[in-house]
A and B are shown apart, each in its own frame.
Chain A
């Protein structure tokens, strides 16, 4: 069964750090690009960060650049989001998702077809 499961959310004070994890199963994790998307209370979806298959390329939204770091451990089939210097406006449900795969030098993109169930991050003093 193809699945992504996030963990690591919680309540944290402004300025502190938190690391989210996204464990994958049921597919060839290393071949897929993976992304984080969040939804703040009452707001729309916001793309946060992405990482290519192999981990060489990393991309960030301006709102988190310099504070968040995306990484992956293909030996553990796990995606991470290290969140530092957290702000009140980072409060949201964070989702991981897979978006495209690369095989034998060719890459195929077809939207984020598999998503985790989300983990809630609350930044509050």
Chain B
């Protein structure tokens, strides 16, 4: 299975909304689709699992949606600490990551 994320880079200002896409080459069964945040020098952080469930401690400005082959991560009202690279991952039977979307400060 291949996960394709778009766009590659998103240039936004704090307070704006970010919409990230993840498209799978095959149906992701049971919506076993997760989103992670990755900052330089830090381990990845789980944000969303089951396509739409926020992990413990994740602010509610992060939301996930989608099913089947098309998934979206939305970050409302970007905070300075949200500028990072975001990855989607299927996490059952196949554990592929997407290539990542960088959210950078405009």
Q: A45-B36, A99-B91 known; A112 and B46 CB under 8 Å?
A: yes
Residues of B within 8 A of A45 (CB): 36, 38, 44, 87, 89, 97, 100
**A50-B92 Cα distance, complex, nearest whole Å:** 11
Interface string of A19-48 (1 = CB under 8 A from B): 000000000000000010101000011110
- Interface residues in B11-70 by Cβ distance below 8 A to A read 32, 34, 36, 38, 43-46, 48-50, 53, 55-56
CB closest residue in chain B, given A49: B95
Contact B44 A95 (CB under 8 A): yes
Shortest C-beta distance, A46 to chain B (Å), equals: 7
Q: Let me know if B9 is at the binding interface, CB within 8 A.
A: no
For chain B, the bracket of interface size reads: 20 to 34
**A45-B89 Cα distance, complex, nearest whole Å:** 10
Contact B32 A112 (CB under 8 A): no
The 7 A-B pairs at the shortest CB distance, nearest first, are namely: A111-B34, A111-B49, A115-B43, A47-B95, A110-B49, A44-B100, A45-B97
Q: Name B's A-contacting residues (CB within 8 A).
A: 32, 34, 36, 38, 43-46, 48-50, 53, 55-56, 85, 87, 89, 91-92, 95-100
Q: Name A's B-contacting residues (CB within 8 A).
A: 35, 37, 39, 44-47, 50, 59, 95, 97, 99-100, 109-113, 115-118
Question: Could you list some 18 contacts between A and B, CB below 8 A?
Answer: A44-B100, A45-B36, A45-B44, A45-B89, A45-B97, A47-B96, A59-B95, A95-B44, A100-B91, A100-B92, A109-B32, A109-B49, A111-B48, A111-B49, A112-B36, A112-B44, A112-B46, A117-B43
